[in-house]
Amino acid sequence: MIIINLAAMFRMALKKVVPKSTVMQVANYQHNVKSHALLNIDGLCDQYCMVPRVPPQKVTILGAASDIGRIVSLFLKQQKVVKLLALWDEVPERGLLGVATDLAHIDTSTAVAAYQGRMYLKKALHDSDVVVICGGCHVMPPCCNNPDRDLFFKNMRFVRTATIACAHFCPQAVIAVQTPPVDCNFALCKYTLELAKVYDKRRVLGVNSINAMRANQLICTATGNDPATSSTPVVCGSGRCTRVPVFSSAKASNYPQAQVECLTQLVREADDIICKVKSNNEQGHLSIGFSTARCVLNIMKGLFEKSALIDSALVEQADPGRCLRYEDMRDPSYHGKGRHCRICHTHTQRIRNETS
């Protein structure tokens, strides 16, 4: 019994004499230099000498399970310039995971990732190059009276939530707003980014290329020209009463001056015509989805392939007085390549006297 007590006392004495081992943080360098000064320099370099961002060529679609979001996803899945296609939606009933699984079966090089719910919104937006906001309500046709206001109140919460998330998780991305009414939600996105102090007018645009596409198809049908070789811009807003198609800018030799009013009326009432024909009070999802995907594709090509591409969209005008006089018009031009992200500028085109 005495021997056991002596052994216990000996162990207690050893614990008091032998100090505990401590782990020291050591700098990790190629030349195996272990110094606390170099460790502090390494930390300062990580803080102030940021590594340049390498764009992953990623496009994130917010509201991808909606009718228009599915069509946009289908067209972008076929483009080689898009390396990663991230799909996000907050409505479980739309079946986003099924849409992503269906798209993943298409044998193209574009990878597909799906994120369901707001808890995964950060992962969906992380390191995105282009963000497309195309969710929300698309039931009522856009116009410039009470239904347009009601539609804005229904979609403003979704657009504001998506914009705040973009400001926090991917401030370097280009934001393309397609949720109707586009002109109102574009302004909402702009002022939300200004409050977050990350607004750059070269990175925010409203996708209204559907109106330019319809105008180009109408003028080419009337003149018999190929729509691929022609471009018909639509200036002013995206509402029914604010669309002004500039048919004189189209490359048409036999321009029907007598049919300008009729063609303009068809462009302005295109949504109502589709709603009446479809008999379900819905928009033309196929044409809107195609025009949105083509606009996003032009942005990606302007970033990573070609030096400049011209498309129709809503952008902030530096000199609104020039546009109010209708002396010229401005279309967004996407510039930049690789890691250079200056992409949204304005391209000035002269309007003929007969249209102005």
What is the percent of the chain with per-residue pLDDT over 90, rounded to a whole number? 38
Residue 227, helix vs strand vs coil: helix
Question: For the CA atoms of the chain, what is the radius of gyration?
Answer: 28
* Residues forming CATH 3.40.50.720 domain(s) in the chain: 58-206
Residue 206: its pLDDT value, please?
92
Closest-CA residue to 138 (of 99, 94, 96): 94
Does domain 210-282+298-350 sit in CATH 3.40.47.10?
no
d(CA 233, CA 227): 13
- How far are the Cα atoms of 49, 155, 199 from residue 69, in angstroms, in the given order? 39, 15, 25
CATH fold of 58-206 reads: Rossmann fold (3.40.50)
Cα end-to-end span (Å), the chain: 112
Which residues lie closer than 8 Å to 57 by C-beta, 6 or more apart? 81, 82, 83, 84, 129, 300, 303, 304
Average pLDDT over residues 188-198: 94
The overall average pLDDT reported for the chain is 78
Has residue 17 got a pLDDT over 80?
no
- The model's pLDDT over 29-45, given as tens digits with 9 standing for 90+, comes to 444 445 677 767 777 77
Q: Picking from 236-240, 313-317, 329-333, which range would have the lowest pLDDT averaged per residue?
A: 329-333
CB 132 within 8 A of CB 126: no
Residue 208, helix vs strand vs coil: coil
Residue 46: its pLDDT value, please?
66
* Residues forming CATH 3.90.110.10 domain(s) in the chain: 210-282+298-350
Q: Which residues pair with 310 in a beta bridge?
A: 333
- How far are the Cα atoms of 27, 31, 153 from residue 40, in angstroms, in the given order? 9, 17, 53
